Amino acid sequence: MLHITTLHYLVLGAALFLLGVIGVLTRRNVVIVLMSIELILNAVNLNLVAFSRFWGGVHGQVFAIFVITDAAAEAAVGLGILIAFFRNKETINIDEVNLLKW
Amino acid sequence: MGQIIQYIQSYLRTKDLTPGAAGNVFWALVYIMLVFAGLSVAVIAMNWLERKILAHMQVRLGPMRVGPHGLLQPIADALKLLLKEDIIPAEADALVFWVAPFIVVLAAFTVFVVVPFGPTHAITDMNIGILFMLGVSSLSVLGIVTAGWASNSHYPLIGALRSSAQMVSYEVAMGLAVVSAILMTSLNAEGTGTLSMIGIVQAQQAQAEWFIFKFFPLGLVAFAIFAIAMVAETNRAPFDLPEAESELTAGFHTEYSGFRWSLFFLAEYSAMIAVSSIAVTLWLGGWLRPFPALHGPSITIAHVWPPADPTAPTGALDFVLALFPGLTFLFLAGMCFYSTVRMPKHPFFRIQTIGLAGFGAALALIGLILFWPPVRDRVGDIYWFSAKVAAFMYLYIWYRGTFPRYRFDQLMKVGWKILLPIGLGVLILTATVALLQTIWHL
Amino acid sequence: MLIGGVLVITRKNAVHSALALIVTLLAQAAIYLMLYAPFVAGVQIILYAGGIMVLFLFVIMLVSIERTEKERQFNKQWLVGIVAAGALGGLFITVYSKGQSIFPDRALPIAEAQNTQVVGTMLYGQYMFAFEIASLLLLVAIIGAVVMAKKRI
Amino acid sequence: MTDPNTLSPPSLETHVAAHDDTFLDTNELVINMGPQHPATHGVLRVILRLDGEKVLGLECVIGYLHRGVEKIAENRTYTMFNPYVDRMDYVAAVSNGLGYCEAVEKLLSVEAPPRAQYVRVILTELNRITSHQLWLWTHALDIGAITPLFYTFRDREEVLKIFEKYCGARLTTHAFRIGGLQYETYNGFEQEVKNFLNFFRPKIDEYEELLTTNRIWVERTRKVGVISGEDCIALGVTGPVLRASGVKWDIRKAQPYANYKNFDFEIPTGQNGDTYDRYLVRMAEMRQSVRIIQQAVEGIPEGPIMAKVPKVMKPPVGEVYHSIEAPKGELGYFIVSDGSTQPYRVRVRPPSFVNLQALDMMCRGQLVADVIAVIGTLDIVLGEVDR
């Protein structure tokens, strides 16, 4: 039967990555942009674990865990900024986020 | 056709593999059905038990009218909930409103994939058992938050946010307690602990000691933390703030009615059973009988004892404890007969007396079957496991009867300021004691 | 999983895209299981689905953003975005088709039963240093998030 | 304390609408704990000004149960008004009746015979126990403890049986008449009261066992709704709330009426005037009532039960103010008579109405959940507040 090789996982990862990038570029809502970043990080994780599976050894998986922790930290700070921003500007679409200090 | 039957029998020959591990899909399905049905029956029984025990605690009788001693009350409830009209609030978000109860039920039920009722009686034996259980139980938070948001009105939303905040913070304390229990499993022979539930219970068997008594105070403290976090995790008893708070009306499931509300109800009870089965597996030696190591003088009684397979211990204590399942069912049957005798003689009660007598006879029959040696050996494990879980259920009801409700900020204070530090302390202490023990023994 | 991903991007309502993201994450955990990585799957479920998504849902609901977000969802230069993504896709395809040989296709058997133990020993053995930095990173993130979000400290 | 214009209801609705959608902004949220709220004892509407969870200010809107009892009194004769009095504080109806009858007796300068006074004391103290039991039930239920509810009700039944046997009604008893009692006590009355006392003494310990050392109960009530002695006196707060703040003031001792002087009992007081002390004071008061009844039952003298009171009473022109210690505080009657058979004016000083004023002072800075606990400890009955 079809033998699943790394290529299949890589293509899947790439597709997910593309979706994330489209999300980041086209959406105005900051929350959705943050979610697309999560998508991108997931795509990266997929590739890591796929390679760790096909090259034996567990390094890929360990690194995937580090990526997940990093994603958690990033999401927390991102949402923190979002709340602070939302309280001052009453709106959260990206076009208005163009001042460094308001 | 032959090939399928052969496939089915192949599992029966493998002695010590769970259906999932043995990769036998058919038996896995059978086990899933069994667990699913067993759980629903347990939830119905819990409903009746809770109302009766709580009532007797409060100097009243509880449901008596529907069926003898209210035995048919849960069925009546289920029927009522099914027939009640299912309202969806006006501009509530239909999709999310429909999905939320399913997420909660999904989370509550998938936990049972890994619960070990016996050495081979678990649907599957994942080697990340505990991690899977904690992960899935954290999913129910999502269901509650979406349920609160979907009903689109203030109070359910605040209730949902409060209850999910409570669940998230108590999950942390729960995780710490679980880690300290798993640390104890690493002391058995091959030196590395195991996450798989069956492995944990086997570790307790190998060390011939329940983890609650291991390193005397530590196991108990970790167990206590888990027990408190467990109650908070399922929004029960002293921590049931979001549901029954007088100014928050009924929390996240106010807008649900009829069948959907019964889903939440079902999910709550199965979550309770799931979490207490984790506690039983981790600290109270899942299916081990009370004194795992003690066997007493080995005795033989003509073709009744010792049990068929040679490996099983043949001590007198084993014999006595093996009789327990049968004795409990006979005791229940006795209670039924006692109450049939005391049933008032009025004609209206005649059907109920007959019903109760029939129920008592059925229980007695089951009790007798349980004494039959081959059945007795297989049922032993499951009986001990469910007896311990039942003890936890009684604890839940007892909490509900006696404790008033925590205020929300006190609730969070207990979660973060008391359970978490103690959890960390216990974890560090267990690690050091375990390390010292391995060093001295080396 | 891909459908979930597409849904995340297209849905107008933030909560719907959050649910779609949850579906994607759980599907991702399933794929990890296929790749004999149960520990990572467990961590994924707990941390991602159980942790970060709850964070997202909390923020969306507490700050009730989506009610102020009724205007157009897609910014003006959405066309440019699609073209850029297409170019990136082209790049992937060329890399994958060219480098067919370097990707191993024979799946080496790895001991699945002991996966958690091996990851554990690796985490505290070889990657000890990285582990400490990760914990530091999380600490900084917590403090940052609290400082950002609290009304008045 | 709270100047009315900022809280006047019309501006309220607009105020609430403006802040309906965004939760997270900083200024305060105004919500109504509406008249049909589960935790307000009867129809009381509380307007809460909240900053997130903390209560900034609070205003009680009452009058939903106003029946104009005092106006009705002006065209009723003295004896006809007697049953109305029970409907005001329906939980402690007997003590209302006692207050009214004694006020009118003072007007007529008539003294009820000793036997009547003893029976009156027994019934009033029994009524105090039932009122405290009902308070314990509602208060514990609001904070979440379900079981005390059933224990208190089981014991309350015993007392209500005695009331029913003596005067036919359980709640609004109308037991007393101006000048003494209507009916002679049924035979076995003393024995039944004694049985009740022996039955009830261990029961109070049962309540105490359930709640006093219950950690969560202590945490929910300690340092909640604190009010100092001076504030109580300034606000005119009386009864268990005043005594829990350390002020030793009980009208049964200060201005003895219905020969309370020849019973010895203490007045329990608390130190720091929080919800937990009020709980302890009320529990101790139940024990004191048992002591009083014990002495009263043993010392019942024989003799007439009704003083010589004319069928149609025409009290002399004048006015009288007579107050008694009702379970909730000082219950006062100010009656002005113009010599005719009907009083010119009857003014009632209900304890709950006055204690309610302290609610705002107590709840300031507390959390929303505590507001319910404080309403519970004030033990207000809306029938009495609105009259």
Neighbors of chain C with 3 or more C-beta pairs under 8 Å: A, B, D
Q: What is the CATH number of domain A6-96?
A: 1.10.287.3510
**To the nearest whole angstrom, how far is the Cα of B365 from the nearest Cα of chain C?**
43
> Among B134, B145, B157, whose Cβ lies nearest the Cβ of C46?
B134
Cβ D381 vs Cβ D90: under 8 Å: yes
Phi and psi for A30 in degrees, rounded to 5? -60, -40
Q: A72–C115: do the CB atoms touch at under 8 Å?
A: no
Closest-CA distance of chain C to residue D26, Å:
8
Same domain, D87 and D54: no
Residue B42 has pLDDT above 60, yes or no: yes
> Is some CB atom of chain C closer than 8 A to the CB atom of D26?
yes
Whether residue D134 is found in the same domain as residue D224: yes
Comparing A25-29, B103-107, B177-181, B317-321, the range with the smallest average pLDDT is B317-321
What is the pTM for the complete model shown? 0.81
Which residues pair with residue B305 across a beta bridge? B301
Average pLDDT over chain D, rounded to an integer: 82
Which of C64, C151, C152 is opposite residue D22, by nearest beta carbon? C64
CB of B40 within 8 A of CB of B144? no
**Which residue of chain C has the CA closest to D52?**
C151
How close A87 gets to chain D, by Cα (Å)? 7
Is residue C8 domain-shared with residue C62, that is, in the same domain? Answer: yes
Distance of residue B246 Cα from the nearest chain D Cα, in angstroms: 6
Residues D92 and D23 in one domain: no
State whether A58 and C118 contact (CB < 8 Å): yes
Chain C residues close to A18, C-beta within 8 Å: 85, 88-89, 92
| Neighbour tally for B6: CB within 10 Å | 9
- The per-residue DSSP string of B38-80 comes to HHHHHHHHHHHHHHHHHHHHTTS----SSSGGGTTHHHHHHHH
Is C63 close to D26, i.e. CB distance below 8 A? no
Q: How many C-beta neighbours within 10 Å does residue D80 have?
A: 13
Q: CA–CA separation, A57 vs C115, rounded Å?
A: 10
Q: How many Å lie between the alpha carbon of D50 and the closest alpha carbon of chain A? A: 19
Nearest-Cα distance to chain B for D191, in Å, is 26
Q: Do C22 and B142 touch (CB under 8 A)?
A: yes
A85-97 average pLDDT score: 69
> By the CB < 8 Å criterion, does C67 face chain D?
yes
Mean pLDDT of B358-377: 80
Give me the CATH number covering residue C2.
1.20.120.1200
Higher pLDDT, C51 or B90: C51
Among the listed ranges A1-10, B212-221, C84-93, which one has the minimum average pLDDT value?
A1-10
Q: Which residues pair with B195 in a beta bridge?
A: none
Q: What CATH number is attached to the domain comprising D235?
A: 1.10.645.10
The string of pLDDT tens digits covering residues D353-362 is 888 888 888 8
Domain count for chain D, please give it: 2
pLDDT score, position D17? 44
Residue of D127, D47, D135, D43 lying closest to D376 (CA atoms): D135
Q: Give C-chain residues touching A70 at CB under 8 angstroms.
A: 134, 137
Contact B246/D216, CB-based, under 8 Å?
no
Q: Are residues D274 and D317 in the same domain?
A: yes
State whether B149 and C50 contact (CB < 8 Å).
Answer: no
In chain D, the percentage of residues whose pLDDT exceeds 90 is: 0
Task: Give the pLDDT confidence of B161-198 residue by residue, as tens digits.
Answer: 888 888 888 888 888 888 888 887 777 655 566 777 77
Q: How far is CA D209 from the centre of its chain?
A: 25
A:12-71 residues touching chain C, CB 8 A cutoff: 12, 14-23, 25-29, 31-32, 34-36, 38-39, 42, 45-46, 49-50, 52-59, 61-62, 64-66, 68-71
Residue D213 host element (H or E): none
Of all residues in chain B, the percent with pLDDT exceeding 90 is 0
Residue D239: inside a domain:
yes
Residue D27 belongs to what domain range?
Answer: 4-61
The whole-angstrom distance between B437's CA and the closest CA on chain D is: 38
* Domain total in chain C: 2
Residues B324-348: tens digit of each pLDDT: 777 888 888 888 888 888 777 777 7
Closest Cα in chain C, distance from residue A61 (Å): 6
CA of D24: which chain C residue's CA is closest?
A: C63
pLDDT for position B245 = 59
pLDDT in tens, D280-293: 888 898 888 888 88
D213 touches chain C (CB under 8 A): no
Neighbours of D8 (CB within 10 A): 11
Please answer yes or no on whether C63 and D23 come within 8 Å at the CB atom: yes
Enclosing H/E stretch for D287: helix D275-298
**Per-residue DSSP letters for D104-166?**
HHHHHT----HHHHHHHHHHHHHHHHHHHHHHHHHHHHHHT--HHHHHHHHHHHHHHHHHHHH
Per-residue pLDDT band for A101 (boundaries 50, 70, 90) equals low
Q: How far is CA B265 from the centre of its chain?
A: 15
Cβ pairs B/C, distance under 8 A: 76
> pLDDT over 70 for what percent of chain B?
85
Contacts of D26 in chain C (CB under 8 A): 151-152
Q: Is residue C30 part of a domain?
A: yes
Helix axes C14-34, C53-62, angle to 10 degrees: 180
Pairing of strands D180-181, D318-326: unpaired
Instruction: Report CB contact under 8 Å: D220, B246.
Output: no
Cβ neighbours of A86 in D, within 8 Å: 24
Neighbours of chain D (3+ CB pairs under 8 A): A, B, C
Buried b / exposed e over B313-330, threshold 16 CB at 10 Å, is ebbebbbebbbbbbebbb
Q: Does D23 touch chain C (CB under 8 A)?
A: yes
D33 and B401: CB-CB below 8 Å? no
- Residue range D87-129, pLDDT digits in tens: 888 888 888 888 888 888 888 888 888 888 888 888 888 888 9
Give the pLDDT confidence of D236-275 residue by residue, as tens digits. Answer: 888 888 888 888 888 888 888 877 888 888 888 888 888 8
Q: Whole-angstrom distance between the N-terminal and C-terminal Cα of chain A?
A: 61
Q: Which residue of B has its CA nearest to C22?
A: B142
Q: Which of B287, B293, B292, B317 is nearest to B305 (CA)?
A: B317
Interface pTM, i.e. ipTM: 0.76
Beta bridge partners of A27: C74
Hey, is A20 helix, strand or coil? helix
Boundaries of every domain in chain B: 74-288+410-441
Nearest to B49 by CA among B70, B65, B34: B70
Of the candidates C53, C68, C83, which is a domain's last residue?
Answer: C68
Cβ-based contacts of D23 with chain C (< 8 Å): 62-64
Q: Is B57 left (phi over 0), alpha (psi -120 to 50) or beta?
A: alpha
Which pLDDT score is estimated for C112? 59
What whole-number distance in Å separates Cα of residue B278 and Cα of residue B297? 33
Q: Do chains B and A touch (3 or more CB pairs under 8 A)?
A: no
**β-sheet bridge partners, residue B7:** none
Average pLDDT score over chain B? 79
Average pLDDT value for residue range B119-138: 79
Residue type, B16: D
Domain extent for C18 = 1-68
- CB contact under 8 Å between C19 and B128, yes or no, is no
Q: What's B330's DSSP letter? A: H
Higher pLDDT, B402 or D22: B402
> What is the band of C103 on the pLDDT scale with cuts at 50, 70, 90?
low
